[in-house]
Amino acid sequence: MTRAGFAAIIGAPNAGKSTLTNRLVGAKVSIVTQKVQTTRFPVRGVAMAGEAQIILVDTPGIFSPRRRLDRAMVRAAWGGADEADAVVHLVDVQAELAVEDGSAKAAEKRAIHDVETIIEGLKAAGKQAILGMNKIDGVKRERMLAVVQRLFDTGVYSEVFMISAADGSGVEDLRARLAELMPEGPWLYPEEQTADLPARLLAAEITREKIYLRVHEELPYAAAVETTAFQERQDGSARIEQTIYVERESQRPIVLGKNGQTLKWIGQKAREELAELLDRPVHLFLTVKVDERWADKREFYGDVGLDFDA
């Protein structure tokens, strides 16, 4: 008897949701950076566990939203949890411990606040979640137990898994448990498929990842990438044109870099990864545009399945 269903991964920004999704799928389906709020819309990845197919829904981090895009992202994250057969709330144990021992930076303090918001949200929804304590690598077990106990005492969790999405510890136990929670039924995707993001969107995400990896400190709120042309060529290669949107004129030179070196690096890294993912040579052309209202454009939301009016 086969099983198939949805498992949503929710959590504060930077908890490691996309890293865990990729690890469970065994392929890169969702981009990962050290910057918070990397994932903007739910990304599906297909993981197999024996006869069970687990469709992972990697969601944007849940935090207190202010701008339109933030609201849409948080709404989408809760939407992902709502429709799932299993919900994993992923918590960055290193951030929790940093707050306890007083060494926390601003981002870690925010993460703790976000964890509380999520617990309240789960309570309000009457949903039980699996608690995934992530980033246990390099942390002493005794130190984590008090944190786990405090979170578990909130009553919103059915069970706990201690994992490292980065090095894989504990992840197979979580996979096996998720498989059990999937309802009986036929598989929803062909066995060899790992993702369902359209190629244009995937290509845009890969470029966005490279931008964040390279200039995350200088670009406070981020950029958007749109694939404007995607052509399969006669010789088997792909020709991809993309526009990078930044919000201010002052951000253009950040993305370009001295003599265009930064943009060149971004383009080269993105092209290499795309060539591997698409399994063919890729010609990538990047243009940088300033549009202070890109985050308020309705088309952008529809394209990635976000609710413009959230």
Ligand X SMILES: Nc1nc2c(ncn2[C@@H]2O[C@H](COP(=O)(O)OP(=O)(O)OP(=O)(O)O)[C@@H](O)[C@H]2O)c(=O)[nH]1
What is the token pair recorded at 308? Answer: 């413009």
Q: Could you tell me which stretch among 133-141, 148-156, 179-187, 290-298 binds ligand X (CB under 6 A)?
A: 133-141
Nearest alpha-carbon partner for 203 in 241, 252, 246, 232: 241
CB 274 within 8 A of CB 237: no
Nearer to Mg ion, 18 or 262 (CB): 18
Nearer to ligand X, 145 or 229 (CB): 145
Q: Could you tell me which stretch among 10-18, 83-91, 98-106, 240-248 binds Mg ion (CB under 5 A)?
A: 10-18
Nearest alpha-carbon partner for 115 in 132, 101, 140: 132
Nearest alpha-carbon partner for 10 in 149, 143, 141, 120: 120
Burial call 141-158: b when 16+ CB within 10 Å, e when fewer: eeebeebbeebeeeebbe
Q: Footprint of ligand X on residues 18-37 (CB under 6 A)? A: 18-19, 32-34, 36-37
Nearer to ligand X, 34 or 268 (CB): 34
CB 85 within 8 A of CB 6: yes
Nearer to ligand X, 165 or 286 (CB): 165
Nearer to Mg ion, 39 or 227 (CB): 39
242 is in the binding site of which of ligand X, Mg ion, none (Cβ under 5 to 8 A by kind)?
Answer: none
Question: For residues 71 and 68, what is the distance between their CA atoms, to the nearest angstrom?
Answer: 5
Q: Which residue of 39, 134, 227, 251 would you call a contact of Mg ion, by CB under 5 A?
A: 39
262 is in the binding site of which of ligand X, Mg ion, none (Cβ under 5 to 8 A by kind)?
Answer: none
53 is in the binding site of which of ligand X, Mg ion, none (Cβ under 5 to 8 A by kind)?
Answer: none
Q: What value, to the nearest 5°, has the Cα angle with vertex 268 and ends 267 and 272?
A: 115
Neighbours of 259 (CB within 10 A): 8
Q: Footprint of ligand X on residues 225-254 (CB under 6 A)? A: none
Question: For residues 118 and 113, what is the distance between their CA atoms, to the nearest angstrom?
Answer: 9
Q: Could you tell me which stretch among 7-15, 115-123, 148-156, 234-242 binds ligand X (CB under 6 A)?
A: 7-15
Hey, what amino acid is at 92? D
Q: Does 201 bind ligand X (CB under 6 A)?
A: no
Q: Which residue of 7, 24, 25, 39 would you call a contact of ligand X, by CB under 6 A?
A: 39
CB 66 within 8 A of CB 217: no
Q: Does 42 bind ligand X (CB under 6 A)?
A: no
Backbone angles phi, psi at 77, to 5 degrees: -65, -45
Q: Footprint of ligand X on residues 142-181 (CB under 6 A)? A: 164-166
Interface positions with ligand X (CB under 6 A): 11, 13-19, 32-34, 36-39, 60-61, 134-135, 137, 164-166
Interface positions with Mg ion (CB under 5 A): 17-18, 38-39
